[in-house]
C-alpha cells in the first residue's frame, strides 16, 4: 500500500477501523438477533492480480451499503469474500512473465509447472486487498474467502455441469465460431462482443475465371475472358475458397469492358463497384455488350479458383462439388458485388452452405492462425497478427492481393474502417474458424429464461428490458469449452466408441477410477520402551524395542491377520517397527527376508524435542504444536507434519502404481496413521487441520486398520487437485471396465462464475438445507458490463438448475472514466489519482459518498473528479464534524430526547423524520443515489440553520438549554444510524460521541430508526394537513424569505449585524416562524401579508448603537477563539477610550473586568460605525 500524506480525517478513520477490529463489530453484526431472517447476497469475486481501481471501489461501496442497511433492518446478512482464480487473465500474466508468445511454449515448459505458476500468481496482491477493502469501510469476511481454484469449488462446478448435461442442455458440435489464434482457444458470444473495435482493413474484389463454353441464360456463353466478381474483407480466406454464392432472385449483369474482359456482378451494385462504376455511360447502364439474368441462371457455373492448392488434390473429399456457383439466402446487394466468396471453414453462413451442398472442406489456416504447409506461397504466415503497425497487421492480406495482381485475379481494392472482434485478453484479432466445441443450449430454454427475467428487479429499471433483456432475447448457445490450461477441467470422458460419461463429484470420480486391486492394511507397532518412558524417539535409540506387553499386543494382532492372506509386508526400519514386523511375519509364515523396510515409513522427526524424557513430555510437544502449528512448522532440526505426510503419500502411491492385486501390510508409527487419513482424502491445509484435530494419536498400539485407498488426482503435496495435468493422471473406466479418456478441454471461466452461488458453499455436498432455504439471492451488484457476463451466466445456470432466477434484486453501476478524455481509467496512462492517495487525503467516507451520490450507481458513466471528493469532505463531512464538536463543547450529560416543544427542535425532528423516510425509500428500492442525496441537505439544515439559529439556547442555563441539548443529541444519534450504510466512519464517530450506556456498542449494531413520531406543539400554521409537513414547508419558506432579505441587505451594503426596523413579506407566517425570520434577518419586526417583500433600511441612532455592540461582540468572540479560550474562561478586557460610551453599560459575556485606555495596542480590532476600535485582554484567574 502506497505511503501517502495522511489527513486528520484519515487518521480518525483508522482509529475507528481499529475500534471495529478490536471489538469485532462486524462479527457481532452477524451474531446479533435477526428477527427478519436471512438476506442473501452474492459477491462477484475479483482477480487479485492487480491493485483495486475505482471500478472495484464503486462495486464494493454498493455491496457494503445495502448489507449494512439490511442488517440494521433486522436481517442476517452473511458476507464472505471470494477470489476469481482461473482463466486467460492469469494465464496471460504468467505467459508474459515467462516470455511466452504461443500456446506451444506452455506445452514445452510443462502444463504442471505452468499451472503452478498460475496458482502462485493468483494471490499476488491479496495482502494489499485485505488492507484496502477494510480501509474503505467495507464489512466482509476476507479470512474465510472462497477461491474458484479450490477443489471444493471445482467439485460443485462439476455438479452443476452434470445437472445441466443430464437435462439435455449440453452438446458437442463442429461449427464456425470465433477463436483467438494466439491463445488458441474458442470464445463465447459475450467474450467476442467485449472485444470489438474499429480498425483499418483492405477489401478486395477478385476475378474468378469462368470455365469457357458454359451457357448462362438464353444468350450468353462464357469465353476464356469471362470472370465472376466477388468481394471480401478477409483476403486471407481466399486460398480456402471452394464455391461462390449468388442470390437466387437477384438480377445480375455480365458486362464486357474495353479491356476485352467480361465481368459478372449484381446489376443493382454496378454504380458502386470500384472498376465498374467508372465505365458507366452518363449514369446509364452499359450501352452494349451487356447481358442480364437471374441468380438462378448462374447456379452450377464452374470456375477456376485464384489459388489451386486444394483443387489439384485429387483425393480431396467432395471435390466434385467444389468451385461452382450456388444459390444462398444470405446473399444481399447491400455491399460488394452481390456475389459471395465461400470458404466453409471460416464463416457461419459459409459452413452452413458447405454442409448443405456437400462442398469440399478446406481449412488452409491452422488453429494458431498460420497458413498450413500446403499453401506453399504463404506457409507459416500469420493471417491476422497482433500489431499496432497496420503494415504488419495487414501484411498477409497485402501479399495475398499482390499474388492476385501477379496472377491476373485482381480486379480492385479499397480501404475501409469497420468494427472487428479482438481477444478480450490479449487484443489479437479473432478468426472465424470451424472447430469443435461444447455448448450449453441456451436457445432451448430461452422462453423460460425470458419469463424468469421478469421476476428480477433492476436498478436502474431500464436495464431490465434494455441492455439485459435485449441480450437475453438475442442469446445464442453458450460455447463452454476452452483449449487452455488454468481452469476447471471439463468433466467429460469418452470410451473408444465415443460414449460419454460425465462426472459430477469426487465420489463419482472414485467410482470410475481404475485401481490396482491391492488391499492395504496398516499396523502400528506394539508398546515400546519409549512409550512407557514417554519419550519422543525419532530413531536415535537403538534399544527402543518392544516391551513384553508390546510383544503380546503384536502376537494377538498377528493371529487376527492370519485369515487375511497377506502377500507383501513393508515396515519402518526403526527397532520397534522392525521387531513388530518380524514377529508378525513369523506367525504368518512369511520370511523376514521378504519384509521391505522403507525410510518413508519412519517416525516423525521430532528434532529438538527428540529423546526428552519426563512426565510432561506430551505437554511439551502439544505446547509446541499449539504455539507453532503442526502442519507446516518443524521443531528445531526436525520435520513438519507436511513432510511426514508427503513421504507417506509418495510411498502409498508408488505401491498403487507398481503392484497389482496384492494384500499389503504396512507396519509404521502413529504419524503414519494420521498421514494415511489425510492422504486418502487428498486433504488440503484447512481440511488436514480439521482431520488431525479429530484423529491425532488415535491409533492404539499394535492396532490394524484397513486403508480404503483409491488414487486421486493430486498435486505434489498429495492434495486432491482437479486441475490439469493431475486430473488426467488417474485412469477412469466405464461400467464395463473399458478405459475412458477425458475430453482435453477446460471449462469457460464464466461457467465458474455462473456456478458461484452453489460452489462457494460447496453445494450440494455441504449445508444443502441451508443453501436451499436462502436461494435465490435477494441482492447482487456489479458493473454494467456484467449484464452480458456474470448476471447473464448466473441467470442461465439458475434457470437450467432450478427453473428460477439466481437473484431477485440487482444494482448496476456505470463505468468510472477519466475526467481528461472520458476514456477508461488506465494505470499505464496514469489518467486517474491513486485511490489510496485519495483515501489518505480526504478519507474513505468522502470517496464513498462521492460515488454513492453520483450517477455511476445508476449505470451511468462518471468522469472521476478529485475536486468532487474534496467538496464532499468539506461541505458535508466537515460540517457534520463541526456539529459534533459543537455538541461536545456544550454537552453536560443531558440524555437524548425528542419531546421538546421548541419550534426549532420540532422542525429538526421533522427534518430527521423526513430524512429517515427518504433514505429508507431509496434503500428499499435499491436506488443508492436516492438514498444518499437527502443527506447533504439534512446536514446543511442541521448545521447552517438548526445549530446556528439555536446557538444562544446552548449558552443559556435552564430548560431551554436542556431541550436543545437533548434534541441535538437525539438527532445526531438517529442521523448517525441513517448515515451508517453510506458513511460508516463518521457515523460511528458521531454515534460514539453521543451514545449513552443503553445504546449498542456501535452504530453498526443499532437498529434502523423508524420515522419520528414525536408530538408537535400546537403551533398556529396556515398550512393544512400533516403538521410535520406544514412545519417543514413553513420553515423552508422562512429560509427562502431570509435569503431574499439578505440579498437586499447586501445590495444596500448593510451588514447583517446591523439591526433594522422591519421586514415586510407577502406570506402569512405564524408568530414563531416570523420571530425566527426576524432573528435571521436581524430586524425588529416582520410584517406579514404585505403586497411584496420589502426591507426598511433606515437606521436610527439606537439601531446603529445596537449594531456596533453586535459588531464588537463578534470581534471579541473571534479574538477569544484565536487565543484558544473556552466559553468558561473569563477575561480582563481593555478597550480604546472611544468605545466607552458604547460599552460602559453593556454586559459582555465572559468578561469579568472591563476597562478603557487612551491607546490600546492591537492585535485585536473591531470595525464600528464611528471607526476601528482596538482592544486587548488577558485571562482572568478565578
Sheet of strand 1151-1157, all strands in order from the earlier edge strand to the far edge: 1151-1157, 1131-1136, 1171-1179, 1164-1168
pLDDT band at 864 (very low <50, low <70, confident <90, very high): very high
The string of DSSP letters for 980-1045 reads TTT-HHHHHHHHHHH--TTS-SSGGGSPPPPPP-PPPP----S--S-HHHHHHHHHHHHHHHHHHH
Which residues, including other chains, have CB under 8 Å from residue 108's CB and lie 6 or more apart?
none
Tell me the C-alpha distance between 139 and 283, whole Å: 73
Terminal CA-CA length for the chain: 52
Q: What letter would DSSP give residue 267? A: G
Please answer whether residues 1177 and 1154 qualify as being in contact, where contact means their C-beta atoms are separated by less than 8 angstroms. no
Overall average pLDDT of the 830-851 stretch: 92
Q: In this structure, are residues 566 and 588 in contact, taking their beta carbons and an 8 Å threshold? A: yes
- All three cell numbers of 212, joined, read 469457357
624 against 805, higher pLDDT: 805
User: How much is the pLDDT for 536?
Assistant: 81
**pLDDT value of position 123:** 85
Average predicted confidence (pLDDT) for the chain: 92
How confident is the model over 973-978, as a mean pLDDT?
98
What is residue 825's predicted lDDT score, i.e. its pLDDT?
Answer: 74
Q: Say yes or no to pLDDT of 132 above 90.
A: yes
Tell me: the pLDDT tens digits for 700-737?
999 999 999 999 999 999 999 999 999 999 999 999 99
809's enclosing H/E stretch is strand 809-813
CB atoms within 10 A of CB 434: 20
Q: Nearest-5° angle of CA 709, CA 710, CA 713?
A: 130
Measured CA to CA, the distance from residue 208 to residue 203 in angstroms comes to 16
Q: What is the pLDDT of residue 619?
A: 56
CA distance 822 to 75: 40
pLDDT per residue as tens digits for the range 362-410: 999 999 999 999 999 999 999 999 998 999 999 999 999 999 999 999 9
Q: Which residues have a Cβ under 8 Å from the Cβ of 284 and sit 6 or more positions away?
A: none
* Confidence band for 537, pLDDT divided at 50, 70 and 90: confident
| Closest alpha carbon to 577 in 646, 643, 531 | 531
Query: Residue 640: what pLDDT?
Result: 85
Q: Please tell me the predicted confidence (pLDDT) of residue 624.
A: 63
Cis check for the bond before 725: say yes or no (omega within 30 of 0): yes
Q: Mean of the pLDDT values across residues 601-607?
A: 88
∠ Cα 1175 1176 1181 (to 5°):
140
What integer pLDDT is reported at residue 613 of this predicted model? 56
Residue 629 scores a pLDDT above 70:
no
From the list 146, 98, 142, 94, the residue with the least C-alpha distance to 121 is 94
Q: Smallest Cα–Cα separation from 444: which of 856, 800, 806, 834?
A: 800
- What is the three-class DSSP state of 705? strand
Contact, 640 vs 632, CB < 8 A?
yes
1020 pLDDT above the threshold of 50: no
Please state the pTM of the whole predicted model: 0.88
- For residue 1078, the surrounding DSSP H or E stretch is helix 1071-1081
> What's residue 324's pLDDT?
97
Contact 1112, 1154 (CB under 8 A): no
- The pLDDT assigned to 1025 comes to 43
CA dihedral 311, 312, 313, 317 (to 10 degrees): 30
Task: Calculate ∠ Cα 589-592-593, nearest 5°.
Answer: 125
Angstrom distances, CA of residue 14 to CA of 135, 627, 651 = 8, 30, 52
For the purposes of burial, counting CB atoms within 10 Å of the CB of 497, is it exposed (0-12), middle (13-18) or buried (19 or more)?
exposed
Tell me the mean pLDDT in the region 856-860. 95
pLDDT tens, residue by residue, 480-516 = 999 999 999 999 999 999 999 999 999 999 999 999 9
The SS3 of residue 597 is strand
Q: pLDDT tens digit string along 1149-1180?
A: 899 999 999 999 878 999 999 999 999 999 87
The helix/strand/coil state of 633 is: coil
DSSP H or E stretch at residue 411:
strand 410-421
Length of the chain: 1182
Q: Give the β-pairing of 739-742 and 339-342.
A: unpaired
Q: Please state, in angstroms and rounded to a whole number, the distance separating the CA atoms of residues 423 and 803.
A: 33
Taken in order 1043, 1049, 1053, 1054, the sign of the CA dihedral is negative
Chain segment 278-293, per-residue pLDDT in tens: 776 544 455 568 999 9
Beta bridge partners of 415: 202
Helical packing angle, 54-72 and 903-924, nearest 10°: 110
Q: Which of 544, 547, 556, 552 is nearest to 527 (CA)?
A: 547
Q: What is the set of active-site residues?
A: 525, 603
Give 1085-1119 as a 3 state SS string.
EEECCCCCCEECCCCCHHHHHHHHHHHHHHHHHHH
Collect all residues with Cβ–Cβ distance below 8 Å to 120 and sequence separation of at least 6: none
Q: What's the pLDDT at 1017? A: 34
3 state SS of 740: strand
CA atoms within 13 A on the CB side of 664: 23
- Pick from 404, 209, 239: nearest CA to 301: 209
* Per-residue confidence (pLDDT) for residue 287, from 0 to 100: 52
**Helix 835-842 / helix 8-22 crossing angle, nearest 10 deg:** 100
pLDDT of residue 1014: 42
- Say if residue 637's pLDDT is above 90: no
Question: Is residue 827 predicted with pLDDT exceeding 70?
Answer: no
Write the CA distances from 1101 to 958, 1045, 1105, integer angstroms. 34, 22, 6
Exposed, middle or buried, 710 (CB in 10 Å: 0-12/13-18/19+)? middle
Residues facing 663 on adjacent strands: 519
Q: Give me the pLDDT at residue 755, please.
A: 97
Lowest average pLDDT, out of 256-270, 591-605, 946-960, goes to: 946-960
Grid coordinates in use for 733? Answer: 473406466
pLDDT mean over 1032-1043: 92
Phi, psi (rounded to 5 degrees) for 732: -100, 150
- Where residue 695 falls among pLDDT bands split at 50, 70, 90? low
pLDDT tens, position by position, 1038-1054? 999 999 999 999 999 99
Query: Which of 38-47, 157-166, 782-791, 1170-1179: highest mean pLDDT?
Result: 157-166
Tens-place pLDDT, residues 902-949: 999 999 999 999 999 999 999 999 999 999 999 999 999 999 999 998
Percent of the chain with pLDDT over 70: 95
Task: Using CB atoms within 10 Å of the CB of residue 316, give its burial: 0 to 12 exposed, 13 to 18 middle, 19+ buried.
Answer: middle
pLDDT of residue 424: 86
Helices (H), 234-364: 295-298, 348-357
Residue 224 and residue 201: Cα distance in Å, rounded? 32
Crossing angle between the packed helical segments 151-166 and 790-802, to the nearest 10 degrees: 60
Amino acid at each position: 500500500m502506497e505511503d501517502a500524506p495522511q489527513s486528520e480525517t484519515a487518521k480518525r478513520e483508522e482509529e475507528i477501523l481499529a475500534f471495529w477490529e478490536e471489538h469485532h463489530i462486524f462479527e457481532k453484526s452477524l451474531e446479533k438477533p435477526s428477527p427478519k431472517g436471512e438476506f442473501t447476497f452474492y459477491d462477484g469475486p475479483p482477480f487479485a492480480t492487480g491493485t483495486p481501481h475505482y471500478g472495484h471501489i464503486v462495486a464494493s461501496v454498493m455491496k457494503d451499503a445495502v448489507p449494512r442497511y439490511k442488517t440494521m433492518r433486522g436481517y442476517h446478512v452473511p458476507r464472505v469474500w471470494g477470489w476469481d482464480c482461473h482463466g486467460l487473465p492469469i494465464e496471460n500474466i504468467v505467459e508474459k512473465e515467462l516470455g511466452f508468445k504461443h500456446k506451444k511454449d506452455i506445452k514445452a515448459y510443462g502444463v504442471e509447472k505452468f499451472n503452478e505458476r498460475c496458482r502462485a500468481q493468483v494471490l499476488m496482491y491479496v495482502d494489499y486487498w485485505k488492507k484496502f477493502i477494510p480501509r474503505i469501510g467495507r464489512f466482509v469476511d476476507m479470512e474465510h474467502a472462497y477461491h474458484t481454484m479450490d477443489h471444493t469449488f471445482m467439485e460443485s462446478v462439476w455438479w452443476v455441469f452434470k445437472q445441466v448435461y443430464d437435462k439435455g442442455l449440453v452438446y458437442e458440435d463442429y461449427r464456425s465460431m470465433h477463436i483467438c489464434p494466439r491463445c488458441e482457444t474458442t470464445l463465447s458470444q459475450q467474450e467476442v462482443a467485449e472485444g470489438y473495435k474499429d480498425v483499418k482493413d483492405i477489401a478486395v474484389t477478385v476475378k474468378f475465371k469462368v470455365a469457357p463454353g458454359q451457357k448462362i441464360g438464353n444468350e450468353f456463353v462464357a469465353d476464356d475472358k469471362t470472370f465472376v466478381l466477388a468481394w471480401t474483407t478477409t483476403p486471407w480466406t481466399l486460398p480456402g475458397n471452394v464455391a461462390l454464392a449468388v442470390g437466387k432472385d437477384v438480377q445480375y449483369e455480365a458486362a464486357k469492358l474495353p479491356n476485352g474482359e467480361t465481368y459478372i456482378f449484381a446489376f443493382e451494385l454496378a454504380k458502386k463497384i470500384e472498376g465498374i462504376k467508372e465505365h458507366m455511360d452518363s449514369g446509364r447502364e452499359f450501352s452494349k455488350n451487356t447481358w442480364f439474368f437471374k441468380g438462378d441462371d448462374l447456379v452450377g457455373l464452374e470456375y477456376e479458383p485464384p489459388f489451386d492448392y486444394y483443387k489439384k488434390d485429387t483425393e480431396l473429399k467432395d471435390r466434385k462439388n467444389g468451385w461452382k456457383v450456388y444459390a444462398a439466402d444470405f446473399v444481399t446487394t447491400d455491399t460488394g458485388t452481390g456475389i459471395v466468396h465461400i470458404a466453409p471453414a471460416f464463416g457461419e453462413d459459409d459452413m452452413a452452405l458447405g454442409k448443405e451442398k456437400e462442398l469440399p472442406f478446406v481449412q488452409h489456416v491452422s488453429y494458431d492462425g498460420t497458413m498450413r504447409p500446403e499453401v506453399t506461397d504463404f506457409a507459416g504466415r500469420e493471417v491476422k497478427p497482433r500489431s499496432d503497425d497496420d503494415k504488419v497487421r495487414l501484411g498477409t492480406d497485402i501479399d495475398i492481393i499482390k499474388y492476385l495482381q501477379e496472377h491476373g485475379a485482381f480486379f480492385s481494392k479499397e480501404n475501409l474502417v469497420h468494427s472487428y472482434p479482438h481477444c478480450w485478453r490479449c487484443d489479437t484479432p479473432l478468426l472465424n474458424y470451424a472447430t469443435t466445441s461444447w455448448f450449453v443450449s441456451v436457445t432451448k430454454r430461452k422462453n423460460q429464461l425470458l419469463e424468469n427475467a421478469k421476476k428480477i428487479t433492476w436498478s436502474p429499471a431500464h436495464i431490465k428490458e434494455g441492455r439485459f433483456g435485449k441480450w437475453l432475447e438475442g442469446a445464442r448457445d453458450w460455447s463452454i469449452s476452452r483449449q487452455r490450461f488454468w481452469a476447471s477441467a471439463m468433466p467429460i470422458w469418452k470410451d473408444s466408441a465415443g460414449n460419454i460419461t460425465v462426472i459430477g463429484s469426487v465420489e463419482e470420480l472414485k467410482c470410475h477410477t481404475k485401481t490396482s486391486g491391492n488391499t492395504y492394511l496398516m499396523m502400528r507397532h506394539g508398546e515400546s520402551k519409549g512409550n512407557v518412558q514417554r519419550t519422543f524417539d525419532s530413531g536415535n535409540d537403538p534399544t527402543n524395542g518392544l516391551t513384553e506387553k508390546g510383544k503380546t499386543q503384536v502376537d494377538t494382532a498377528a493371529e487376527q491377520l492370519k485369515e487375511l492372506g497377506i502377500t507383501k509386508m513393508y515396515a519402518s526400519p526403526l527397532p520397534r517397527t522392525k521387531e513388530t514386523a518380524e514377529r508378525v511375519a513369523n506367525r504368518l509364515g512369511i520370511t523376514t527376508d521378504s519384509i521391505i523396510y522403507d525410510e518413508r515409513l519412519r517416525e516423525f522427526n521430532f528434532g529438538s524435542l527428540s529423546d526428552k524424557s519426563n512426565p510432561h513430555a506430551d505437554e511439551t510437544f502439544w505446547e509446541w504444536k499449539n504455539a507453532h502449528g503442526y502442519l507446516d512448522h518443524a521443531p528445531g532440526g526436525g520435520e513438519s507434519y507436511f513432510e511426514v505426510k508427503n513421504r507417506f503419500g509418495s510411498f502409498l502411491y508408488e505401491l498403487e502404481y507398481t503392484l497389482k492385486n496384492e494384500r499389503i501390510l504396512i507396519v509404521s508409527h502413529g504419524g503414519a496413521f494420521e498421514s494415511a487419513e489425510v492422504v486418502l482424502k487428498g486433504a488440503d491445509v484447512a481440511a488436514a487441520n480439521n482431520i488431525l484435530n479429530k484423529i491425532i494419536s488415535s491409533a492404539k498400539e499394535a492396532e490394524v486398520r484397513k486403508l480404503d485407498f483409491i488414487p486421486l488426482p493430486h498435486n505434489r503435496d498429495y492434495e486432491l487437485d482437479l486441475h490439469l495435468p493431475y486430473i488426467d493422471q488417474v485412469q477412469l473406466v466405464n461400467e464395463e471396465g473399458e478405459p475412458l479418456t477425458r475430453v482435453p478441454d477446460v471449462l469457460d471461466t464464466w461457467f465458474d462464475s455462473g456456478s458461484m452461488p452453489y460452489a462457494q458453499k460447496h453445494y450440494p455436498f455441504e449445508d444443502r438445507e441451508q443453501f436451499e432455504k436462502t436461494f435465490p439471492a435477494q441482492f447482487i451488484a456489479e458493473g454494467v458490463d456484467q449484464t452480458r457476463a456474470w448476471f447473464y451466466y448466473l441467470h442461465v445456470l439458475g434457470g437450467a438448475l432450478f427453473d428460477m432466477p439466481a437473484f431477485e434484486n440487482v444494482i448496476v453501476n456505470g463505468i468510472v472514466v477519466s475526467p481528461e478524455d472520458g476514456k477508461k481509467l488506465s494505470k499505464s496512462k496514469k489518467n486517474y489519482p491513486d485511490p489510496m492517495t485519495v483515501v489518505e487525503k480526504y478519507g474513505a467516507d468522502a470517496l464513498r459518498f462521492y460515488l454513492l451520490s453520483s450517477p455511476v450507481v445508476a449505470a451511468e458513466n462518471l468522469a472521476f473528479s478529485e475536486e468532487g471528493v474534496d467538496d464532499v469532505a468539506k461541505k458535508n463531512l466537515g460540517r457534520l464534524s463541526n456539529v459534533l464538536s459543537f455538541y461536545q463543547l456544550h454537552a453536560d450529560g443531558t440524555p437524548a430526547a425528542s419531546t421538546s416543544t421548541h419550534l426549532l427542535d420540532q422542525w429538526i425532528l421533522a427534518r430527521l423524520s423526513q430524512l429517515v423516510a427518504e433514505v429508507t425509500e431509496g434503500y428499499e428500492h435499491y436506488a443508492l443515489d436516492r438514498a444518499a442525496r437527502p443527506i447533504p441537505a439534512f446536514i446543511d439544515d442541521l448545521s447552517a440553520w438548526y445549530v446556528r439559529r439555536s446557538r444562544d439556547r446552548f449558552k443559556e442555563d435552564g430548560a431551554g438549554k436542556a431541550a436543545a441539548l437533548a434534541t441535538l443529541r437525539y438527532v445526531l444519534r438517529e442521523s448517525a444510524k441513517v448515515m451508517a450504510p453510506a458513511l460508516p466512519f463518521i457515523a460511528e464517530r458521531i454515534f460514539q460521541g453521543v451514545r449513552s450506556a443503553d445504546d449498542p456498542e456501535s452504530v453498526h449494531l443499532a437498529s434502523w430508526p423508524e420515522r419520528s413520531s414525536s408530538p408537535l406543539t400546537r403551533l398556529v400554521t396556515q398550512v393544512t394537513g400533516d403538521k410535520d409537513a406544514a412545519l417543514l414547508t413553513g420553515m423552508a419558506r422562512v429560509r427562502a424569505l431570509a435569503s431574499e432579505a439578505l440579498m437586499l441587505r447586501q445590495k444596500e451594503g448593510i451588514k447583517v449585524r446591523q439591526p433594522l426596523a422591519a421586514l415586510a413579506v407577502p406570506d402569512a407566517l405564524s408568530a414563531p416562524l416570523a420571530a425566527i425570520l426576524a432573528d435571521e434577518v436581524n430586524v425588529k419586526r416582520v410584517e406579514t401579508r404585505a403586497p411584496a417583500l420589502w426591507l426598511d433600511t433606515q437606521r436610527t441612532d439606537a439601531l446603529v448603537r445596537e449594531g456596533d455592540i453586535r459588531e464588537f461582540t463578534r470581534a471579541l468572540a473571534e479574538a477569544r477563539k484565536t487565543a484558544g479560550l473556552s466559553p468558561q474562561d473569563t477575561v480582563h478586557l481593555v478597550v480604546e477610550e472611544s468605545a466607552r460610551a458604547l460599552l460602559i453599560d453593556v454586559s459582555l459575556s465572559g468578561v469579568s473586568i472591563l476597562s478603557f485606555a487612551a491607546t490600546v495596542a492591537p492585535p485585536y480590532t473591531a470595525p464600528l460605525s464611528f471607526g476601528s476600535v482596538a482592544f486587548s485582554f488577558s485571562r482572568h484567574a478565578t
